[in-house]
Chain A
């Protein structure tokens, strides 16, 4: 409850125009959001764009946001929803996009790169990229977003049973992909 209270105070100040509260939210959650975004889209540049978009949208929402719950989960859900929307738009316009770079994470660091991945995240993302997107989303939101299956079901507009099934399949796939590496 204390963590929730701390975020509530930040939100309360943010809604009243506090730059400091917004800055604190940014500092507190940027790495978690980037980690989730990198796991979901694997392309680091696209992940950075999504997280920046989420923070900008959040910054613009001060007057209308009505959130009394878990701020971290809310922002995580925003990242997942924004990625889903981008994927849908790209599929609709048949544009190369988020999934184009999947399977290979650019190992060369661009000079203007925002997110710097450690080796473990790179390995995890590479494995995730080989999973169907719905399974990857369930596994990422469950492991990194600390969301329940019920919460993920709401995001995916699917039943809890479906989400649990995707989690099982996703974890099995992840196990088989990482099996050799993890035994090292």
Chain B
């Protein structure tokens, strides 16, 4: 079954690369159904698409990822929210989980190679 994904990040190049990695290396398991450049836009798209997975950056204009998480959960309660951030987990993971995210991934460290296996593992653990 295909996992429908919304990618939320204010860096357009990075958003595009994440979508490309999920599409080309996801083995058909991931389909990117929406992209957003800030937290407020993410809430709108999540409400419309009701995605299985939201990949959410933290530092963004208008509304940051930590503010957006509870709102996304409100409009799309079935979505799994994974934070994907340039901030180290030791400083930002606890706050993200407290806000309602289900998992935290750090950007960097061969992300193109590790993203699909990490997300596959997280979704399996969530029973998706």
A and B: bona fide binding partners = no
Residues of A within 8 A of B (CB): none
